[in-house]
A and B are shown apart, each in its own frame.
Chain A
C-alpha cells in the first residue's frame, strides 16, 4: 500500500518518529549534550559571572612571565580560580572563552544552516515543481556550486572580504556553498510529490503555486529536510572552527574555539590542556548533533527497524 501523506488513523508519522526518538538512548544522549551547549551559549554572561572571570581580563598572576607566560599549576592553571585554566601568554580565563566561544560557534553554525536550508528548500521546491527550463538552469547552477572547492573558496573570499560584520559574512559565505545539497534533496522529493493526487487536487482546485508549494508539498518533505539540518549543523560547527583556526573566522578579541586551537598550536607541548579543552568541546558538540541526526533519520525511516 502506498503511504498516504496524512493518515487519519493511528499516530502521525511525526508522532511515531518522536516516540521512537524518546526510546533511543543515542538520541537522548545527543539531545542532552546539545541542550547543555545551547544552555551554556545562552547563559554565557551568567556563567562567567559565576566563575568570576570574563573573556577579556588578563590574569597576570596566573601565568609565569619568566617562562614566556606558561600558566602556573600542572594542568594549564586548571583549578578553583580558573575552572578550565588560563590562556598561556595572556592569562585570560579559558572557561570564559569556551563559554563565549560556544556562542559564536552555535550562532554561526545554526544561522548558516538555517540560511542554507531555507534557500535550498525554496530553490529545490521551485526547481522540482516548475520543471522545464527553470529546473535545468537551477540544476546546472547547483552542479556548478557543488564542484567548487568550497573550503579554499571560503578562505579566498574571506581573506579579501572587507572587515565589516564578520559573523554575518561567515554565515553568508558558509551557506553560499552548501545550499545546493539541500536543493538537490528537496528537488528530488518535490519531483516525486508533484504528481501525487493531493497535489493534483490542490492544483485542480485552483490553488496558487505558492500555496501548493508551501502548504501542500512542503509539509510532506520536512522529514528529510530536518535530518539534513541536524547533520549540517555539526558540519558547519567544524567548518567555522576550521575557518577560525586558519585565521579568517571571527576577529579577536571575539573568542572562538577554532582560534583557541590555532593559538594552542604554539603551546601544545607545554600546556596540553589548552588544546584539549576546545577539542573536547568540538568533539562533544559534533558528536551530539551527529547522534541526533542519525537517530532522527532512523526514526523517520518508514521501514523503521524498531517499529
Chain B
C-alpha cells in the first residue's frame, strides 16, 4: 500500500513536471515574444529589451526552465522572474490574483458537485432498478436533453426568468461564505443549478449503465440467494461496485472545475479563476494564462491521485495488486 502510494505520488510529480515543461514551451519558446506581450504593443524596443532582461529571457532556455520550476516550488515570495509571474495588466503578482479568486471557484465547484452527484446518482439508480419502465424512459429522455442543452442557454434563461421576470433571486453577486452564508448560497444558487443540470444528466446516464451492469453480476445473485433484503442487495452489494467508476469521473470533473468554470463564471459575472482566465485571454495577459494553466494542471493531477487512493480504498484488488 505504501509502495503503491509512493509510486502514484512520483507519477503525479512526473506528470506535473512534464506539464510545466509543455506550458513553459508554449509561453516562452514559441515565436511570440513574451516580453512584447508583457510590455504591450506600444513599447519601444529599448523598453522591450529591458523587460526581456527583467524576465530573464536573455538567459539560456534550460536556465529559464530551471528558474521557472524552482520558482513555482518556492511559491509567492521565493521567486524571481520568470516564475508564477507578474500581471502587467492587473499590476499584481499572478499568485495574489489566483489566491484572491480561489474561494469563488471552489465555492462554485463544490456546491455544484454536491448537487449533481446527489441528483445524478439518484436518478441513475432509480432508472437502473426500473430498467425499461415508463419512469426509466422518461428520466433517460430528460437527461439526454439536459446533457445537450448548452450551458450558456441554461445560464441566460435562468437569469432571464428567475432574476429578471420573476425577481425570485438577486443577480448573482458573490458574497464570501464567512461573511454572509445565506447570501453566499442564494447568489451561487443559479450557477450551481446551471453546472449541475449538465453534469447531473451525464452522471445519471453513467450511473444507470454502471448500475445495470453491476446488478447483472453473479455476486448480486449470490447476495439474493443469501436471503438479503433487496434494499441491502442494492445498496451494499450493488451500489458499492456500481459507483466505483463514478468516483473516477467525479474526481476528474471536480478537479477540472476547481480551476474555474470559465463559461459559467463569465456568464454570471462571478469573480473566480474562470473569469480571470477569460479576462486574461481578452487582454492577452500571458503571465496570468500561464498561472491559470498550471493551477488547472495541478488540480487535475492531484484529483487523479486522490481518485486512485479512493479507488484503492474501495477495491481491494487494487490495494493488493
Q: Do chains A and B touch in the complex (CB under 8 A)?
A: yes
Please name all residues of chain B whose beta carbon is closer than 8 Å to the beta carbon of A287 when the two chains form the complex.
144-145, 148
Nearest chain B CB to A221 CB, angstrom units: 21
Residues from chain B with Cβ under 8 Å of A66 in the complex: none
Distance of A140 from chain B, by nearest CB (Å) = 10
Residue of B nearest to A285 (CB): B148
Cβ-defined contact, B152 with A234, below 8 A: no
In the assembled complex, the CB of B140 is this many whole angstroms from the nearest CB of chain A, namely 10
Q: Does A268 contact B (CB under 8 A)?
A: yes
Is A78 close to B, CB under 8 A?
Answer: no
Report the separation of the CA atoms of residues A159 and B292 in the bound assembly, to the nearest whole angstrom.
13
Let me know if B26 and A156 touch, CB within 8 A.
Answer: yes
CB distance from B86 to the nearest CB of A (A): 18
Which of B15, B23, B277, B300 makes the CB contact (< 8 A) with A155?
B277
Q: Is A170 an interface residue (CB 8 A)?
A: no
- Judging by beta carbons under 8 Å apart, are B284 and A152 in contact? no
Interface size for B (C-beta < 8 A) is 48
The reply to whether A144 and B296 contact each other, CB–CB distance below 8 Å, is no
Q: A156-B23, A245-B263, A287-B145 are in contact. Are A148 and B297 (CB under 8 A)?
A: yes
Q: Is the CB of B297 within 8 A of A149?
A: yes
B contact residues around A246 at 8 Å (CB): 262-263, 266, 278, 281
- Chain A residue nearest to B31 (CB atoms) is A162
Shortest CB distance A291–B (Å): 7
Chain B residues positioned under 8 Å from A248 (CB to CB) = 281
Residue B267 is within 8 A (CB to CB) of chain A in the complex: yes
Answer whether residue B301 sits at the interface, using C-beta atoms and an 8 A cutoff: yes
A71 interface residue, CB < 8 Å from B?
Answer: no
Cβ contacts under 8 Å, B267 to chain A? 265
Of the candidates A151, A160, A238, A272, the one whose C-beta lies within 8 Å of that of B26 is A160
Summarize A's interface: helix, strand, loop or mixed.
helix
Given contact pairs A261-B150, A265-B156, A265-B267, A151 touches B262 in the complex (Cβ within 8 A): yes
Could you tell me if A283 and B150 are in contact, using CB atoms closer than 8 angstroms? yes
Q: Within the complex, which residue of B15, B26, B160 is in contact with A144, where a contact is CB–CB below 8 Å?
A: B15
Given contacts A155-B281, A242-B263, contact A148 B156 (CB under 8 A): no
Chain A residues 193-235 with CB under 8 Å of chain B are 234
* A-chain residues with CB within 8 Å of residue B27 when the two chains form the complex: 156, 160
Contact A149:B281 (CB < 8 A) given known A144-B15, A245-B263, A290-B148 = no
Q: Across the two chains, which residue of chain A brings its CB closest to B290? A: A156
* Residues of chain A within 8 A of B26, CB atoms compared: 156-157, 160
Interface status of A264 (Cβ within 8 A of chain B): yes
Within the complex, which residue of B23, B144, B149, B160 is in contact with A268, where a contact is CB–CB below 8 Å?
B160
Q: How far is the CB of A286 from the nearest CB of chain B, in Å? A: 4
B164 close to A149 (CB less than 8 A): no
Q: Assess the B153–A152 pair: CB atoms within 8 A.
A: no
CA gap between A148 and B278 in the complex, in Å? 19
Cα of A3 to Cα of B271 in the assembled complex, Å: 56
User: Which residues of chain B have C-beta atoms less than 8 A from A159's C-beta?
Assistant: 280-281, 284, 286, 289
Indicate which residue in A161, A265, A269, A279 contacts B150 across the interface (CB closer than 8 Å).
A279
Question: Is A276 an interface residue when CB atoms closer than 8 A count as contact?
Answer: yes
Which chain A positions have C-beta within 8 A of B296? Answer: 149, 152-153
Chain B residue contacts of A247, Cβ below 8 A: 278, 281-282
Contact flags A108-149 to B (C-beta < 8 A → 1, else 0): 000000000000000000000000000000000000100111
Q: How far is the CA of A208 from the CA of B51 in the complex (A)?
A: 57
* Cα–Cα distance between A276 and B160 once the two chains are bound (Å): 11
| Residues in A whose Cβ lies below 8 Å from that of B282 | 247
Inter-chain contact A160/B286, CB cutoff 8 Å: yes
Partner of A160, one of B32, B144, B156, B304: B32
Give Cα A147–Cα B299 distance, bound, in whole angstroms: 10
Known: A147-B15, A269-B164. A283 touches B153 (CB 8 A): yes
Q: Would you list the 8 A-B pairs with minimal beta carbon distance, nearest first?
A: A279-B153, A149-B296, A287-B148, A152-B296, A286-B148, A268-B156, A261-B152, A282-B150
Known: A152-B262, A275-B153. 20 other contacts (CB 8 A): A147-B19, A147-B297, A148-B300, A149-B297, A149-B300, A155-B262, A155-B277, A155-B289, A156-B289, A159-B289, A160-B289, A246-B281, A247-B282, A265-B267, A272-B160, A279-B150, A279-B156, A283-B153, A290-B144, A290-B147
Chain A contacts to B: CB under 8 angstroms? 144, 147-149, 151-153, 155-157, 159-162, 234, 238, 241-242, 245-248, 261, 264-265, 268-269, 272, 275-276, 279-280, 282-283, 286-287, 290-291, 294
Name 5 interchain pairs, CB-CB below 8 A, sorted by A.
A147-B304, A155-B262, A275-B153, A283-B150, A286-B148
State the B residues within 8 Å of A (CB). Answer: 15, 18-19, 22-23, 26-27, 30-32, 37, 144-145, 147-150, 152-153, 156-157, 159-160, 164, 256, 259-260, 262-263, 266-267, 277-278, 280-282, 284, 286, 289-290, 292-293, 296-297, 299-301, 304
